[in-house]
Amino acid sequence: RLKAVVIGSGVAGLAGAIRLAVMGYEVDVFERNAYAGGKLSFFEKDGFLFDAGPSLFTQPQNIEELFAFAGEPIEDYFQYRKVDLSCNYFFENGKRVKAWTDAERLADELHMQLGEDKAAVLNYLRKSETLYNNIGSVFLNHSLHKRKTWFNKSILKALQTVRLPHLTGTLHGFNQSAFKKPETIQLFDRFATYNGSNPYQTPGMMSLIPHLELNEGTFYPEGGMISITNALVKLAEKKGVRFHFNSAVQRIIQFQGEAKGVVVNDENVFADVVLSNADIYFTYHQLLADPVQTNNVLKQERSCSGMIFYWGMKREFPELHLHNIFFSKNYAAEFNTLFQQKRLYNDPTVYVNITSKMEEGLAPKGKENWFLLINAPSNVGQNWEQMRIQLRQQVIDKLSRSLQTDIASAIETEEYLDPIRIEERTGSFMGSLYGTSSNSKMAAFLRHPNFTNKIEGLYFCGGSVHPGGGIPLCFKSAKIATELIHQDQTKHAYH
Ligand code: FAD
C-alpha cells in the first residue's frame, strides 16, 4: 500500500486525509497541537462553550460530498439545519436590517427599512448567482495551474459571464453602481471580509460571494461549529487514518526533487506522498528551508486578521440572533486604517455570534455565549495588548449605544484571541484568518497552487493555498490536491 503523510489537521488536512484513505493510501496525520481542527476548534470557560474560530457555516454540499465520496451516511456523524435569518445588521444611524436568506423577503426588508429599490436587490442577487455558478464552479473547483482547466468548454461559458466592472472596478464601486442607499452598499461591501479582503480594493468579481449567504443560505451545525471537526475526525478514524497529536513536523524530507516523507519528533517517517496543510509560508520557510520560495510567498499580501473576544453574558438579549453585525459609521476609513495603516479602527465594525440562541447547553440557562470578531490588520509587530484594551472599551461603548443597555455589567467571564495567538495556535503566518488577501485583481492566480513543479510527491491544501481561505474553500482545496495526487499516481503507474 502506498503511504501518505498529512501535516496538520485543519479542516483541509482532515478532508485530505479522508480522501487519501478512501483512495487506498495508508495515512498518518501529524498535528502540532494536542487536538484536531486548527482554527476550527473550541473551548469551555465557566460553563460557557465557545467555538474558537469560524462561526459561519455555508455550502454544506462540500462536507456532504466528502461523506458521499467516503461512502458513509453523513447523518450518522453530522447534523445541520438551514437558518432563515442570515444576519441582523445594526447601523450607526439607528437603522436595522434583517437579512433573510430568501431573495424576495430580503428585497422587501431592504426596501422597507432603507428605501432601497427592490428590483435592484433581486437583480444583484440573480447576477451574483450566475457569476458564482459559472466562474466559481470553474475557478474554485479546479487547479488554475493545469492546462486541463483552461482547455475545456465550461471555461468559455464561464468567461462569457464576466463583465468589465468585475475585473477593472472594485467591489465597492460595483455596489455603488448597483444600489442607491449607503447602508445597502455597506451591507454588500461587507462580503469582501468573507476572505479577509478590503471592499475598496478587491475586484467587482467578489460580487459573487453574496450568492453563498443570501441565495444558498447559511446553516447551523448541531452542537456548534466544532461538530464539523468532530465529524471529520470520526470519519477519518473509520477510514483507518492514524492521528499523531503533539507532533510538530520539523522538516519535509527531499531527495533528488522528490518528497520522501517528514521528520517528526526527530525521527524519519517515510511516505510516497506528503500533503501539507500547514500555512504555505511556514511550509517553505521551516519545513523546506527554501528562501527563494519563501520570498515569493511573501510578495502576496496576507488577508486581514481578527481580534476576538469571547464573553459569557449574564443575561439574554432578545433583539440579537445567531449572527449580528454592528457597522462602523465610516467603512472607507475603517478599511484604510486596517489595510494601509495596519492599525485598529476606533469605531470598529463588530460581529457578534451567539450559538446559545440555537440550542440549549452551550451557555448556562438564561445566559448567552458571545463570540465577537473585529477585523484587525495582520500582525506586523503592533502593540496588541494596548490595542486590545482600547478596543474592548470601544466595543462596549458601541454595543451599549446601539442596544441602549449597559453591556459591561453583563459580562460574566471572558477570553480573547489576537493575531499573535492565532499564529501561535494555528501556525497562520501573521495571524491571517484566510491566508492571502484577494485585494489585487490577480490574487486568485497568484495564490500558491496545490502542488509544486519543483518537488514531486509534495502537495498543499488549506486556507493559504488555492482556492483560498474559509471552510468551503478549504474542503475544495483538499479535493483539488487529492485529485492531483490521483492523476499523478495514475500517470506513474502507466509509465
Ligand atoms: P488550519 O485551521 O489553519 O490548521 C492548520 C493546522 O496545521 C493547525 O492545526 C496547525 O497546528 C497544524 N500545523 C501547522 N504546522 C504544523 C507542523 N509543522 N506540524 C504539524 N502540524 C502543523 N471560515 C469560515 O468558513 N467561516 C467563518 O465564519 C470563519 N471565521 C473565522 C474566524 C476566525 C477567528 C478565524 C481564525 C478563522 C475564520 N474562518 C472562517 C477561516 C477558517 O477558519 C479557515 O479558513 C480554516 O479553518 C482553515 O483551515 P486549514 O485547513 O487551512 O487549517
Decide if 158 is inside a domain.
yes
Please spell the DSSP secondary structure of 244-313, one letter per residue: E-S--EEEEEEETTEEEEEEETTEEEE-SEEEE-S-HHHIIIIIS--HHHHHHHHTSPBPPEEEEEEEEE
In a domain, 163, yes or no: yes
Contact between 358 and 81 under an 8 Å Cβ cutoff? The reply is no
State which amino acid sits at residue 334.
Answer: E
Confidence at residue 471, expressed as pLDDT on a 0 to 100 scale: 96
Cβ neighbours of residue 92 closer than 8 Å, sequence gap 6 or more: 327, 328, 329, 347, 402
Question: Does the Cβ of 8 fall within 6 Å of ligand 1?
Answer: yes
Would 110 be classed as within a structural domain?
Answer: yes
396 neighbors 295 (Cβ within 8 angstroms)? no
Given this model, what pLDDT does residue 495 score? 59
Cell numbers at 182, concatenated? 449607503
User: Cβ(467)–Cβ(477) under 8 Å?
Assistant: yes
- Res 398: pLDDT: 98
Instruction: Decide: 197 and 437 in contact? Cβ < 8 Å.
Output: yes
Residue 65 maps to a domain: no
In ligand 1, which atom is closest to the CA atom of 11? 51
CA–CA separation, 232 and 58 (whole Å): 16
In a domain, 477, yes or no: no
Domain membership of residue 59 (yes or no) is no
Say if ligand 1 is within 6 A of residue 196 CB. no
159 domain-assigned:
yes
Residues of the chain scoring pLDDT < 50: none
Model pLDDT, residue 298? 84
Residue 153 lies in a domain: yes
Q: Which three cell numbers stand for residue 480?
A: 483539488
Q: How many CB atoms lie within 10 A of CB 476?
A: 25
Q: Among 426, 450, 464, 475, which is best to mutate for testing ligand 1, by the most ligand atoms less than 8 A from CB?
A: 426
Nearest of 416, 349, 341, 350 to residue 385 by alpha carbon? 416
**Three-class DSSP category at 436:** strand
- Write down the H helix ranges in 2-117: 11-22, 61-70, 103-114
What integer pLDDT is reported at residue 167 of this predicted model?
A: 67
Distance 4 CA to ligand 1 centre (A): 21
- Give the pLDDT score at 74: 98
- 219: left (phi > 0), else alpha (psi -120 to 50), else beta? beta
Tell the residue nearest (CA) to atom 22 of ligand 1.
8
Q: Could you tell me if the CB of 40 is within 6 A of ligand 1? A: yes
Sheet holding 267-270, edge to edge: 249-255, 258-264, 267-270
Q: Phi/psi of residue 295, each to 5°? A: -65, -40
User: Which domain does 198 fall in, by range?
Assistant: 102-216
In short, whether 39's Cβ falls inside 6 Å of ligand 1 is yes
- pLDDT for the residue numbered 316: 98
* Ligand 1 atom at minimum distance from 474 CA: 51
Question: How many domains are contained in the chain?
Answer: 1
Q: Is 238 exposed, middle or buried (0-12, 13-18, 19+ CB in 10 A)?
A: middle
